[in-house]
Structure 1
Amino acid sequence: MTDSRALASPRALISGVTGQDGHYLAARLIEAGITVHGVVGPSRSVESVSAPGFVGHELDLTDAAQVRALVADVAPQHVFHLAGLSSVGRSWTDPVATVDVNAVSVTAVLDACLQFQDETGDPISVVNASSAEVFAGSSESPQDESTAIAPTSPYGVSKALGHMMCQVYRRRGLQATNAILYNHESPRRPATFVTRKITAAAAAIAAGEQDRLTLGNLSLRRDWGWAPDYVDAMYRMALHGKGDDFVVATGESHSVAEFVETAFAAVGITDWRAHVEIDDELNRPADSADMVGDATRARDVLGWQPTKTFEQIVTSMVNADRRQEQNS
């Protein structure tokens, strides 16, 4: 077994390293002089991540034996569990896989870290990417760490189970923290998410490459933040020194219609409704009408705060999509 105390560089293990948050987190940790070990599933590749101080691993995170072997080999000081099926909509079409991947993987990671800690005496901090969706059925607004867990989708249930497992392992002595992340965006957000669908369409329509944008419910309201800010919050959680739960949010909610209006304004289109059509088939069952988080604890305890406004986030995404349109 690797003796973590004898290794020169601090090490972090990130699951889901090729995702939006994994990308920004890996860069942040490497910049801080931390060697990053990144994990993706067997069907994906870590080749897209290439940087000094990065080591890639491909394995099944629902396989407890594989996860235990990896943690023992890497001997990380910090583990960030970001991997999972992240689409609320897809969770309705494949609920079994969603619960299996999201809930089992976090349990495997937590158990492997506790076993390693118990065997070696070397403490590990674990930051689990929880979700605002665990509060989706709550009547309380805004939501904070004391809000009752009340998911309304298979995705929310899967994240709630991982969230509670994190609390269970914390009580067993593991420095395990839930990062309760509200919606957070960037140019690295996949086009399967409505935010990137909107910004990509605004850029394409402005360039004359697309005519229409088809959306579902425009009145839904979400608390949208900037992904690098939320990664900064998780980094602070890892260094906090003890496990806890932290809501990461801006405290402001905006409707999908506002997101569309802001995106189209960024490309000089004022009459955005002329380019948008509504398809009720895109509406998801049991979507919460308004989700907004209270991140007071993260601000007070971690010294964290968001750096970009809603308008800056949307404009940054649109500008990135416009550059992509120009280069294609």
Structure 2
Amino acid sequence: MTGHTKTALITGITGQDGGHLARLLHDNGYEVCGVIRGQSNLKKERFLEEFPYVELIEADLLDPSSILRAVDQSDPDEFYNLAAISHVGYSFKNPTLTLHTTAGGVLNCLEAIRMTDRSGKTRFYQASTSEMYGGLDYNRPGLGYDERSLFHPRSPYGVAKLYGHWIAKNYRESYGIFASCGILFNHEGERRGVEFVTRKITNAVARIHLGLQETVELGDLWPKRDWGYAGDYVRGMWQMLQHHEPDDFVLATGETHSIEEFLTQAFHEIGVDDWSPYVVRSQALIRPAEVDILLGNPAKAERVLGWKREVDFPNLVRRMVRYDIAEQQARFAARAVQSDR
């Protein structure tokens, strides 16, 4: 259709990936709609200050009728399902909520497309995760997990995501919905929540650098992850829905770094070589089951989509530390101005 302006609907729009995706789509001329839970959502006002061009629609993944109304209201060409209980540690404490939101929410989105007869129009993106692999039976040293690797999730989050992954594939095959699944390995950045270990580290390093705190509590430091920049990975999500057919794609960097390496790099950014005086080990932060190593193989996405990550590991950590230092300084200045009034 000549001159047609595409519309995208995003669940989880106030999260890390949602913000990156909203900006990318807007920059590409889309009308952007986002699902947000109603009533006193604390993120709503701050989000609209940053993204005034996004139309927010009140709905809840746990309420199928509200998701159906959101799809009817927005009439999306592309539907990105990014919403989930996305913290692995939290999923152990709240497995039932994780199940209903992270697994059942995907079904509600797909059903909304099917029941509104949009199977031939709306392209659907499901945010799958490397946590579905679980790190067990890792017998491909140096090669990494790809789209054909076996799944063995090691957390309620991973199990729920695996349901979402398979139900999206099922609706693709059963109802002809253009449903693509992005199996994304760990992707971080300045929009990451401080409850995640990478942002917890960079935020603490910034505050230690500025004399605002003395130590940071961490659990195990040996697990290795394939860490990339969220902005690169969101671009890959969009590329999946521009492809001529739906499919599954791994997005990863193809290299791993331990939490200790991330910690070392973060402290290096503030000129500290020995971080041991600033780190307190906490048993309470150790998970019931841990994934030793997650390494991805993005060869298919690079070959088929032309996707390539641009931000390497040192620059990812540098970007996050510098952002957190600037944010802490801005907060301090704002408090100082307020106290002078």
Instruction: Please give the range of the TM-score, normalised by the shorter of the 2 chains.
Output: over 0.9
1:71 maps to amino acid: V
Number of residues paired by the alignment?
Answer: 322
Relative to 1, partners in 2 of residues 1:52 and 1:201: Cα closer, same or farther, differing over 3 Å? Answer: closer
Give the Å deviation of 1:46.
Answer: 3.3
Structure 2: distance between partners of 1:235 and 1:49: 22
Relative to 1, partners in 2 of residues 1:60 and 1:214: Cα closer, same or farther, differing over 3 Å? Answer: same
Tell me the secondary structure at the aligned position of residue 208 of structure 2: helix
Give the Å deviation of 1:42.
Answer: 3.0
Which residue in the other structure is 1:237 paired with?
240
Deviations along 1:273-300, one digit per CA (max 9) or x if unpaired, are 2211211221111111111111111100
Residues 4-23 of structure 1 mapped to structure 2, 5 A cutoff: 8-23=4-19
Tell me the secondary structure at the aligned position of residue 179 of structure 2: strand
Deviations along 1:166-209, one digit per CA (max 9) or x if unpaired, are 11011020110111111111111111011011001111111111
Q: Where does the alignment leave 5 or more consecutive residues of structure 2 unmatched?
A: 333-341
* 1:282 lines up with 2:280 in the alignment: no
Contact 1:78-1:238 at 8 Å conserved across structures: yes
Relative to 1, partners in 2 of residues 1:6 and 1:111: Cα closer, same or farther, differing over 3 Å? Answer: farther
Tell me the secondary structure at the aligned position of residue 48 of structure 2: coil
What stretches of structure 1 move > 6 A for 4+ residues in a row?
none
Residues 195-210 of structure 1 mapped to structure 2, 5 A cutoff: 195-210=198-213
Tell me the secondary structure at the aligned position of residue 49 of structure 1: helix
* 1:211 lines up with 2:214 in the alignment: yes
- Cα RMSD, aligned residues only: 1.7
Relative to 1, partners in 2 of residues 1:287 and 1:120: Cα closer, same or farther, differing over 3 Å? Answer: closer
Deviations along 1:23-46, one digit per CA (max 9) or x if unpaired, are 010000011010001012235353
* 1:155 lines up with 2:157 in the alignment: yes
Structure 2: distance between partners of 1:122 and 1:136: 34
Contact 1:34-1:53 at 8 Å conserved across structures: no
Structure 1: distance between partners of 2:159 and 2:282: 27
TM-score, with normalisation over the residues of structure 1?
Answer: 0.94
Deviations along 1:229-278, one digit per CA (max 9) or x if unpaired, are 00000010111122111111101110000000000000111111221121
Contact 1:186-1:226 at 8 Å conserved across structures: yes
Relative to 1, partners in 2 of residues 1:121 and 1:17: Cα closer, same or farther, differing over 3 Å? Answer: closer
> Which of 321, 326, 330 lines up with 1:323 in the alignment?
326
1:145 maps to amino acid: E
Contact 2:120-2:178 at 8 Å conserved across structures: no
TM-score, with normalisation over the residues of structure 2?
Answer: 0.91
Structure 2: distance between partners of 1:283 and 1:205: 23
* 1:182 lines up with 2:180 in the alignment: no
Contact 1:103-1:158 at 8 Å conserved across structures: yes
Which residue in the other structure is 1:74 paired with?
74
Give the Å deviation of 1:69.
Answer: 2.0
